[in-house]
Structure 1
Amino acid sequence: MKPLNTGEPTGVGRYRVFAALGEGGMGRVLLGISSDGRLVAIKQVHPGFAHDPGFRERFRREVETSRLVSGAYTAPVMDADPHAPTPWLASVFVPGPSLSEAVATGGPLPFGSIRHLAAGLALALGDIHRAGLIHRDLKPSNVILAGDGPRVIDFGIARAVEGDSELTHTGAVIGSPGFMSPEQAEGKPLTSASDMFSFGALLVMAATGTNPFTGSSTPHTLYNVVHVQPDLRQLAPELRRIVEPCLAKNPADRPSPAWVLEQLGPIPPMPSPWPPIVPHLIDKQQAEVGRLLNPPAKRSKRGLYAGLAAAAVVLLAGGVVLAVSVNKEDPPPAAVAAPSTSPPPDVPVTTPVNPDPLGPDNLRKVDLCKVLEGRAVPGFGKLTKKIDIHFDSCTYESPSGKWLDLGVGGDVIQGEPGDNIEGLPSNIKGSSDSCEVAVAVTGLRNTALAAKVNSLSSKDEACSVVKAALADAVKRIRAGGFDRDLPAGTLALLDPCALVGPVTADRLIGPVAETIREHLHQCRYDAAGGLRVDLVRGYPPTQSKDAYYTKTATLDLGGTKVYLAAVDDGIARSHCSLTWQHRSVSERDGENVELMFSTSGTKLTADQACEKAKAFAEVLLPKLPKP
């Protein structure tokens, strides 16, 4: 677990994220907090998967099925967005080390702990299989040792990247070689018996500290999985009796989770099922979470500015300089500027126009699908527009069918410092066959212009392609001439933080401590509670039927149809969101406004949160351009 890097986005969907838990072949896992105060683990699926034509639909189906799994030994799925530029899934955060971390730190588990582990995993797999799912990636890092027993995470996700996909090209492996079943290693159809093979391999690792099939290379390991009988002589006879049939090469010869539970028999209660190292790791992790959530107070410039701004408001209200009235619309910034002070950058006022071509004001005008259309990228070929459904990103296709993304957004990559791109410092991040390179957007601390590509022959080839593409994009954006088409009423050019002024915001949701431009089209107001405004292009909004919400409704605000969804989880643990379509683009998409108020840190109820959200929406709506 480590804090997010400076400049990284602090939100995913409706969750505030504050730490990175890890990263793997399928994506990145972040630690976040919901508006009701619950900790969540958010898996952001690798961006490359989003470009598979069937991925999003498979992901949506698997997530819906995964929500049916709610056993005591799984981490329940809370939320997901398969339509996000980077699809994500949120599940309940379970404090505890992974099985891999526990064994690496403290060695193999004692036999009593193995029995608890086996019983918990068998119950979890039974719940998963009854829901119609196959885990497909059961391995030590996907098993969390919580204080009262194991938890299985990430069930049902691997299925979404299987099928007829460029991501499962010849030679690609979905899963973890040492814990795959033989049929999975050979690319054959899977049944729930595949998970039982992984279960057996996992128990061997927990009991001995080593995987029974590990070879000198991935192909060697996969060969062992398919052809070699493992040496199980190190196992206690009681455990070997369970593991051996699970590791049968023929799926039909493997037992069910119910059979495993019968063999284990009654599990005696224990104050803790784990050796002492596990409670120690849990305590250490919880202390780290506490430090990340409540960092030591610092007298930062931002805090000093906020204090000065608050003092200025008191002086104005006290009659020293009576320049504003809270009952009238916000005056122009110059009307409230006192001679002795000037508004610091984080005070929520309209900022001067940024003249830099790579600044936010110009980038809102740029159509990224025009910037590289028809351009030839060395090692990749001539680019043609493939996907153009978002304000701030475009996906291009090469003659060979590979995809390249060019985007402006808040997903600032973690990576190493790279070469200068047209005089700008860059960050670079790559894996075996992919690469992403980003340069900062001038004057917007959470935002970058980035190019990325996946599924090339090597990381070096991928990085060469994206560096060339990004350098060409920077040159052409600076040269100009790629403005987007601007139909009447579009939201594309709007800075959401400039729509509602500081005095009005204070009156509606305040006092506002800080207004933060999250990226080109997102604004966050930190007040007593918090409010976020997003201007997005995407699917038309509908009334949510998700059981997560305790209240849903359809409102008429000044003739606009607005969809309300609220979670009422007690005072200071609730939130309310409002969504509406501002302008239709096609039957499939449009320009939408998303607004959410959370009660965190307040004594407001969910109904009061909705009243604040509605009051803000009623002020915001007339300020939007007419379609």
Structure 2
Amino acid sequence: MKPLNPGEPRQVGRYRIIAEIGEGGMGRVVLGLAPDGRLVALKQLHAQFAHDPRFRERFRREVATSRLVSGAYTAAVMDADAEAETPWLASVFVTGPSLKEAVDAAGPLPVESVRLLASALAAALTEIHRAGLIHRDLKPSNIILTSDGPRVIDFGIARVAEDAQDLTGTGAIIGSPAFMSPEQAGTGQVTGASDVFALGAILVMAATGRGPFTGPTAPQTLYNVVHGTADLSDVPEEIRRLAEPCLAKDPARRPTPEQILNHLGPVPPGVAPWPPAVHARIRQQDAEVRSVLALPLPVWRPPPKKMAPRTKKILFGSLAAVVLLLVSGIVALGLSIAEYAKPEDPGVASLAVTEAVSPERLRLTDPCKVLAGRFVKESGTLKPESGSLHPARCKYTGLNGVTFNLQLGESVTVSGLERTDRTAEGLPLLRSTISGGCDSVVQLPAERRFGIVVSRSGKEGDPCKSADDMLTAALARLRTHEVDRAGDPASILPLDPCAVADPAVVGKNIANAESAPRTLRICEWQGGGNTLTVELNLGAYVADGSPVDLGNGVTGDLRGAGTTKCTVHWQHRPLPNREAEHVTVMMLGREGSGSSCDPAKEIAASIVPKLPKP
């Protein structure tokens, strides 16, 4: 529980707000008190979603469909207002830690507790699916462990089955990578079997403390879900027999929730569901709630009456007329709105800056979205180049041909940079004028050899101030999801190049190999005088060299046969406008070590099966 900030509203609808419970991707959850004394968990949509018609529509559907769900292992919806300025939904408040919090704090659950968890989740899914819903985001943080069993909460992602994909938008992926089904990760048809897959992954996590597909990065985890084999090595045999069928790649081969219940049989009465450490945390949270309720409570006031719909329409029409007159006046004065008007709001930050500028995150970013529409007084509104061939760079043009170049995750050398007294999103701004214009730079907190760079060409005006302003705007936009590259499970661009080569094969060919990223999409291994480079990239692809069979139906091009430098290059998949995603493996051996092509071919062949299917 967290105290409310000074000045925050102390009442939402008919509920007095007591404290903050937590915050998630779509909204904030607060503890509320109903007029009849019942406690509620009241979820409020984040501001950026409240003003987005698509998300508001999703929230309306959530309200309508969540009311259909009931059952012993779900938190019932009590009240909602989808038309409020900040839409909200109130459900029954239950005391206890989430499954994630419990396992993180007390370790994996014993077998009997995991069996009870499986039975309760299967019963909850039976009720959810009976109402015609799919949860779509069943995960440990959405399961509360109460003193008499678990509760499935947050139906913010649950949707009427036939409407689910229409509401989420083409190509959108909703869910948590470690507990997402292969069809959901691959934007396939999502059914109730997707929730069963999540149930299986949750049982593995509850029994071992980790998910069956969890990788070092979110893209790698998604790849493992779609293409990898579940890691069940530490799962107790009894739980493994239960979880393994749920994790079948083919949805048709997974059991139904009813079949899981039949397999488990009746739950023994009077059994304490969790280990003592978890029950201690439940009692601690009960005490926290009682202490919060002991403080002076906000005065209850009747909710204000809503404005009649007809009045709203009249007001809206009047405002529209005033706006139309103002716009007409601006046009009459001859001002160019397209060139000089300030851009739309840059978006509400939903990511911490350290996460927003991590290498994993930047691999998912479209550089031509970051500064699109940004405004500089002397340069107007920036427009990105069309048809950019580089996945981490984009050129923007403003008034009078002034250009800015944005580079994400480029290698930077601090010795050639000057320090400034400016910061952006808490990160120090560095600067270089070697290029003739001005480069503004921030280093990535997680990998300081890399940076985000905005270069301003020319010397007109104050190029360094312009570059600094643009980098500040870029960092603010990077903290939103407006810059995300369109999700494509076949793409290699989100992958970490240091994770695609088989470590055993690399170690066989390079003694004492140590990897080091050179850019977001280039990794280098060195050892024993040999150097290996792996690059995952986007651009024009030209077949150049001798054909070489890499297995799995992939033919590459080999250059440098018989020399100490050998390159294997192949096209992963073609794209429009003669572009392609492609992979390059280069082996540079020490003098006198013989040809480097056999090691290069072996390492390339080990990479092919680890890439997503094109």
Report the TM-score when normalising by structure 1.
0.48
Which of structures 1 and 2 has the bigger CA Rg?
Answer: 2
